[in-house]
């Protein structure tokens, strides 16, 4: 029975090819738009997550405060409020996994005939844990490097390529501010950061080395930035309070004084970025849904026309024993078939569009199976919903009136 | 033995804007198994309304109608559909075949609604087409065959579920006299095999093929008598 009805529906659709195609077009555009939006939205979300993950998970960034001299504020880190000792104290807090001071300097790197300007980070050995950054070639930084201020450098892959032409350069020597260094390791690739910087264009040296040879600091033992990793996401909230309290105590701040440091929770940054991406996806999805609804109305309209055109046929079917349910099923099946075919074409169109977006704008898109199943079932649902009224109208026809309809 | 059809004081009133209009004023009519009745009457005499009620397409306003001994009253639309499907075969003036389906599928359609499985439907429909001499045209669509062939296919369709009764409404109205004779020959043949038939017609030649003639006038059955000089084309 089902197959006979399906065949009947295919015939009815094929009998009015142009009309059926135009009706489907509404669904094609609607489903295509939804699939495209979901793919781009999901792609954005994944990109953000990847970038934030690249910064390290459950990470706090603590920046030194700013100075205010005769009205001109000099920016965070310009006041010597954070010290290496603060880092030491923070590492003893409950829930802290790793802490590293970070001293950034833009310097000219020289190796053989090549030179290259990049950011040189002075850190301790825990920095690699905080940033979840592996050393791909060579050895990791250890405590001895930091204690002895060794002239060792770990290069990002982009920097290594700029200086040496390849990344297989462990053991080679180079110069920073005319001080000879040995390349001890090459870092694993991290890709782009949230603001589009190439994170692989960097060089890492021990903090002590940085302070001694590369960037003298007017305040001894002071640092501009600390990176801290919590043991788990659950302790982030408590830890944030503990860090603030500890630093305020150590800096002898009275309750009415503001913090003399900035405490940033990267998970919160990620959460807000994700929320933005999600809101964007929802908004675009809502707009796309409108076209789906319009497509559905198109189906309903054409099905009503079709029911009127086939009034006599309905009369004949009723006369030879079709029950109302049989008529209802037949017309709903036809509506679903139209919307499903349209949905399927839309899926292909939307998927193709997403790949085009990826190719042209170089943003990543993700066509998830969920979005495919979703759009497929939504188009079936639209066929059912918008096909119901015309089908119901067909099924409740009076057999005599239908039979003698002119 | 139960009559195929038995009506007692059958009345039908239509509600119109100008008030109630009674088109059947109380018809008593009985059809025994194997009978072949022609119904005649001018337009507006109520014969079509009577046929619609007999065909379970419409319900009487008053009086009783028994189909194979069962009262057809207060039946739901689906129950009426069941009766139409199982007990009655319809033949229309305009053939009323589905234009997009081939003859085989048209003949098999009542079997679809009787929930007969696909292969059996095809087999039975093919037998019926063969019986009306249309086996070679099974895969043709209605607009690819002649009017006479379409009507024969429609008759094959009406026979699909082995009904107790065939109701034919002006079956020769759209056909020339030679083709009409072929159709009537087929009806007589079916009747000789024991099938009960009612044919509505305004052609005396067609009516003369029946065994019994019933005449309607102004909503009443005014004459009901055996055909004395039966014609066999």
A257-315 residue pLDDT tens: 888 888 888 777 777 777 887 888 788 778 888 888 888 999 999 999 999 999 999 99
- What are the chain B neighbours of A317 within 8 Å (beta carbons)? 109, 113
Provide the domain count of chain B: 1
Structure tokens at A65: 């405060």
- What are the chain B neighbours of A320 within 8 Å (beta carbons)? 84-85, 90, 109-110, 113, 157
Report yes or no on B131 lying in a domain: yes
Report yes or no on A195 lying in a domain: yes
Best to test chain B binding among A13, A14, A321, A326 (most B CBs inside 10 Å): A321
Burial readout A174-208 (b: 16 or more C-beta within 10 A, e: otherwise): bebeeeebebbbbbeebeeebeeebbbbbbbbbbb
Report yes or no on A62 lying in a domain: no
Report yes or no on A61 lying in a domain: no
The verdict on a CB contact (< 8 Å) between B118 and A318 is: no
Q: If you average pLDDT over residues A127-135, what whole number do you get?
A: 87
The verdict on a CB contact (< 8 Å) between B82 and A403 is: no
| Separation in Å, CA of A314 to nearest CA in chain B | 10
Give burial (CB, 10 Å; 0-12/13-18/19+) of B136.
exposed
Best to test chain B binding among A15, A312, A320 (most B CBs inside 10 Å): A320
Domain with B188 in it: what CATH number?
A: 3.40.50.300
Q: Looking at the predicted structure, is the pLDDT value of residue B128 above 60? A: yes
Provide the domain count of chain A: 2
- Asked whether B208 and B193 are in contact (CB, 8 A), the reply is no
Q: If you average pLDDT over residues A81-97, what whole number do you get?
A: 85
Q: If you average pLDDT over residues B105-114, what whole number do you get?
A: 93
Report yes or no on A348 lying in a domain: yes
Report yes or no on A191 lying in a domain: yes
Q: For the whole model, what pTM was predicted?
A: 0.72
Q: Is any Cβ of chain A less than 8 angstroms from the Cβ of B142?
A: no
- Asked whether A63 and A79 are in contact (CB, 8 A), the reply is no
Q: Are A111 and A207 part of one and the same domain?
A: yes
Q: Is any Cβ of chain A less than 8 angstroms from the Cβ of B112?
A: yes
Q: Are A226 and A349 part of one and the same domain?
A: no
Report yes or no on A240 lying in a domain: no
Q: Are A133 and A218 part of one and the same domain?
A: yes
Instruction: Indicate the helix (H) or strand (E) that contains A315.
Output: helix A311-319
The verdict on a CB contact (< 8 Å) between A8 and B101 is: yes
Q: What is the ipTM of this complex?
A: 0.92
Q: Are A307 and A390 part of one and the same domain?
A: yes
Report yes or no on B204 lying in a domain: yes
Q: Is any Cβ of chain A less than 8 angstroms from the Cβ of B75?
A: no
Q: Can you give the residue range of the structural domain that contains A196?
A: 79-231
**Which residues of chain A approach chain B closer than 8 Å at the C-beta?**
1, 3-4, 8, 11-12, 15, 312-313, 315-326, 399-400, 403
Q: Are A44 and A96 part of one and the same domain?
A: no
Q: Which of B57, B97, B115 is facing A399, going by the closest CB pair?
A: B57
Q: Are A209 and A322 part of one and the same domain?
A: no
Report yes or no on B80 lying in a domain: yes
Q: What is the Cα–Cα distance from B208 to A235, expressed in whole angstroms?
A: 101
Q: Can you give the residue range of the structural domain that contains B39?
A: 33-58+73-226
Segment A167-192, tens digit of pLDDT: 888 889 999 888 999 999 999 988 77
Residue of A nearest to B56 (CA): A319
Report yes or no on B144 lying in a domain: yes
């Amino acid at each position: 029975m089902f197959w006979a009805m399906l065949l009947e529906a295919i015939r009815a659709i094929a009998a009015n090819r142009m009309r059926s195609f135009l009706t489907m077009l509404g669904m094609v555009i609607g489903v295509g738009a939804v699939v495209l939006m979901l793919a781009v939205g999901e792609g954005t979300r994944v990109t953000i997550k990847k970038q934030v993950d690249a910064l390290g998970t459950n990470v706090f960034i603590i920046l030194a405060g700013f100075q205010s001299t005769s009205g001109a504020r000099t920016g965070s880190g310009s006041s010597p409020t954070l010290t290496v000792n603060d880092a030491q104290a923070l590492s003893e807090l409950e829930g802290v996994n790793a802490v590293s001071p970070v001293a950034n300097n833009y310097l000219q790197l020289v190796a053989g005939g090549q030179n290259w300007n990049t950011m040189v980070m002075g850190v301790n050995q825990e920095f690699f844990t905080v940033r979840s950054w592996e050393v791909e070639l060579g050895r990791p930084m250890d405590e001895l490097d930091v204690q002895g201020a060794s002239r060792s450098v770990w290069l990002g892959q982009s920097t290594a390529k700029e200086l040496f032409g390849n990344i297989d350069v462990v053991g080679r020597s180079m110069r920073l501010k005319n001080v000879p260094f040995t390349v001890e390791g090459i870092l694993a690739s991290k890709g782009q950061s949230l603001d589009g910087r190439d994170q692989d264009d960097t060089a890492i040296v021990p903090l002590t080395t940085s302070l001694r040879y590369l960037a003298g600091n007017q305040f001894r033992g002071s640092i501009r930035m600390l990176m801290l990793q919590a043991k788990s996401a659950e302790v982030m909230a408590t830890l944030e309070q503990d860090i603030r309290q500890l630093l305020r105590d150590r800096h002898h701040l009275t309750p009415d004084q503001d913090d003399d440091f900035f405490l940033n929770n990267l998970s919160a940054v990620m959460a807000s970025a994700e929320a933005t991406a999600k809101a964007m996806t929802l908004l675009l999805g809502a707009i796309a849904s409108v076209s789906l609804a319009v497509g559905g109305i198109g189906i309903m309209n054409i099905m009503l026309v079709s029911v009127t055109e086939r009034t006599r046929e309905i009369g004949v079917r009723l006369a030879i024993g079709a029950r109302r349910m049989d008529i209802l099923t037949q017309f709903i099946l036809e509506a679903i078939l139209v919307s499903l075919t349209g949905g399927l074409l839309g899926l292909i169109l939307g998927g193709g569009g997403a790949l085009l977006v990826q190719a042209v704008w170089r943003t990543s898109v993700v066509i998830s199976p969920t979005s495919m199943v979703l759009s497929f079932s939504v188009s079936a649902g639209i066929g059912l919903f918008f096909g119901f009224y015309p089908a119901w109208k067909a099924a409740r026809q009076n057999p005599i009136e239908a039979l003698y309809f002119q | 033995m139960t009559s195929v059809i038995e009506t007692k004081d059958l009345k039908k009133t239509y509600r119109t804007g100008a008030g109630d209009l009674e088109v059947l004023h109380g018809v008593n009519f009985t059809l025994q198994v194997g009978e072949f009745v022609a119904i005649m009457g001018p337009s507006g005499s109520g014969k079509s309304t009577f046929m619609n009620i007999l065909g379970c397409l419409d319900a009487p306003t008053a009086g009783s109608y028994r189909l194979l001994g069962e009262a057809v009253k207060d039946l739901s639309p689906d129950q009426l559909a069941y009766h139409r499907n199982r007990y009655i075969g319809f033949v229309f003036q305009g053939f009323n075949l589905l234009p997009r389906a081939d003859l085989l599928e048209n003949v098999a359609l009542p079997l679809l609604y009787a929930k007969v499985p696909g292969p059996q439907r095809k087999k039975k429909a093919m037998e019926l087409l063969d019986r009306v001499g249309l086996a070679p045209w099974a895969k043709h669509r209605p607009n690819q065959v002649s009017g006479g062939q379409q009507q024969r296919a429609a008759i094959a369709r009406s026979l699909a579920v082995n009904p107790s009764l065939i109701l034919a409404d002006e079956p020769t109205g759209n056909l020339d006299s030679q083709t009409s004779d072929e159709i009537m020959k087929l009806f007589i043949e079916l009747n000789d095999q024991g099938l009960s038939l009612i044919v509505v017609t305004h052609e005396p030649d067609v009516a003369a093929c029946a065994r019994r003639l019933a005449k309607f006038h102004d909503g009443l059955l005014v004459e009901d008598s055996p055909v004395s000089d039966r014609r066999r084309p």
